């Protein structure tokens, strides 16, 4: 390839991301300067937070500015380099994030690729997804053996890992997902104790049935009615790691908080928002546990790979319609 295609933010979406909000622009492949490497992106991570970055709401990172390359995590291969630490052929995660074919970067994390830890594992359980699940559940949720842990978006990238870690910690784990297929995967393959199809069942009634001892930990990815149902059933001193609120990201007006908010008081519960970057200094803890869990089959992971950078905006919508199972990824170019 001799051109570098980039998805640039053309205007801020109102509600769902629509055609024309992003624009695919071509420019020459960049040339690495001193200390820089040229990376050909192989995989692009699609995450609910992409939608936040497109908006100008008050958020945890600066929003993507109009005209800028859309922000997104990638894994790629070094093709040329003026940096002795980054050699051609290295598989890396560039620190410069973007929906594009190529990036020049002076800083990238090198990945150790093996048959047990293929490139795609780093897009899922071994990557940001896994780190998010690990620290959100263990550092904030603090699950104890015998407790009941509920996970929303249980068949999603983070939720699917959260539930498996909670099982490792000896908990009863109940997931919520949007289809019978997803629920089957979560229970039969991942070992959750139960999974509720929130599109078919009354969530409150189903949670009451599946959580006869109440809810001690709720790993929150979605917000909205599910949060309300959970708050109705939390036990004293429940912990709610707040990882995402995807049901609200496409709203174009104010969204009410949980109607059962008062139960945070009544049950002396804890809600704590967190972002994976807060835990980068503690990544060593994660690396002590997760590779072993993956190798032993205690943590399984799954990716949903869409083909072609040109399809990234369409693929992103799957996160909001529940179209993906496991971690959603776009393949931009072939693995070496």
**Interface with a copy of itself (CB under 8 A):** 52, 57-60, 223, 232, 236, 242-245, 248, 254-275, 278
Element containing residue 4 per DSSP (H, E): strand 3-9
Measured from the CB of residue 110, what is the shortest distance to a copy of itself in angstroms?
Answer: 29
* 182: helix, strand or coil: helix
For residue 248, which of 167, 109, 152, 125 has the smallest C-alpha distance?
152
Measured from the CB of residue 204, what is the shortest distance to a copy of itself in angstroms?
Answer: 13
Exposed, middle or buried, 65 (CB in 10 Å: 0-12/13-18/19+)? exposed
- Closer CB to a copy of itself, 30 or 273, in the complex: 273
Measured from the CB of residue 268, what is the shortest distance to a copy of itself in angstroms?
Answer: 5
119 CB neighbour count, 10 Å cutoff? 18
- Closer CB to a copy of itself, 126 or 276, in the complex: 276
* C-alpha to C-alpha distance for 171 and 219, rounded to whole angstroms: 13
Measured from the CB of residue 271, what is the shortest distance to a copy of itself in angstroms?
Answer: 4
- Closer CB to a copy of itself, 84 or 212, in the complex: 212
- Closer CB to a copy of itself, 7 or 53, in the complex: 53
Element containing residue 9 per DSSP (H, E): strand 3-9
Measured from the CB of residue 264, what is the shortest distance to a copy of itself in angstroms?
Answer: 5
- Closer CB to a copy of itself, 274 or 320, in the complex: 274
Region of residue 136 (left: phi > 0; alpha: psi -120 to 50; beta: else): alpha
Task: State how far Cα 135 lies from the chain centre.
Answer: 13
Element containing residue 302 per DSSP (H, E): none
The dihedral of CA 139, 145, 150, 153: what is its sign? positive
For residue 240, which of 250, 226, 252 has the smallest C-alpha distance?
226
- Closer CB to a copy of itself, 240 or 299, in the complex: 240
* C-alpha to C-alpha distance for 67 and 65, rounded to whole angstroms: 6
- Closer CB to a copy of itself, 266 or 295, in the complex: 266
For residue 138, which of 34, 40, 239 has the smallest C-alpha distance?
239
Structure token pair of residue 250: 């496409």
- Closer CB to a copy of itself, 26 or 59, in the complex: 59
Measured from the CB of residue 133, what is the shortest distance to a copy of itself in angstroms?
Answer: 16
């Amino acid at each position: 390839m001799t051109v570098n295609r980039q998805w640039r933010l053309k205007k801020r979406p109102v509600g769902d991301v629509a055609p024309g909000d992003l624009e695919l622009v071509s420019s020459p492949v960049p040339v690495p300067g001193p200390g820089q490497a040229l990376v050909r992106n192989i995989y692009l991570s699609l995450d609910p937070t992409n939608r936040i970055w497109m908006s100008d709401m008050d958020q945890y990172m600066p929003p993507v500015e109009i005209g800028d390359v859309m922000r997104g995590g990638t894994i790629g291969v070094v093709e040329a380099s003026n940096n002795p630490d980054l050699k051609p052929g290295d598989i890396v995660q560039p620190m410069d994030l973007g929906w594009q074919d190529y990036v020049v970067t002076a800083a990238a994390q090198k990945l150790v690729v093996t048959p047990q830890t293929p490139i795609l594992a780093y897009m899922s359980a071994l990557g940001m997804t896994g780190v998010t699940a690990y620290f959100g559940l263990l550092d904030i949720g603090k699950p104890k053996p015998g407790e009941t842990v509920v996970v929303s978006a249980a068949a999603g990238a983070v939720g699917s890992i959260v539930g498996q870690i909670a099982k490792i910690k000896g908990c009863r784990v109940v997931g919520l997902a949007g289809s019978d297929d997803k629920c089957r995967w979560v229970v039969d393959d991942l070992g959750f104790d139960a999974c509720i199809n929130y599109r078919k069942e009354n969530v409150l009634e189903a949670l009451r049935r599946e959580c006869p001892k109440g809810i001690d930990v709720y790993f929150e990815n979605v917000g909205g009615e599910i949060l309300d149902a959970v708050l109705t059933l939390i036990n004293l001193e429940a912990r709610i790691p707040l990882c995402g609120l995807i049901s609200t990201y496409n709203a174009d007006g104010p969204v009410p908080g949980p109607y059962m908010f008062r139960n945070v008081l009544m049950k002396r519960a804890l809600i704590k928002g967190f972002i994976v970057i807060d835990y980068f200094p503690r990544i060593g803890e994660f690396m002590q546990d997760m590779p072993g869990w993956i190798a032993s089959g205690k943590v399984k992971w799954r990716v949903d790979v869409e083909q072609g950078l040109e399809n990234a905006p369409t693929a992103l919508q799957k996160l909001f319609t529940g179209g993906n199972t496991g971690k959603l990824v776009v393949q931009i170019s072939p693995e070496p």
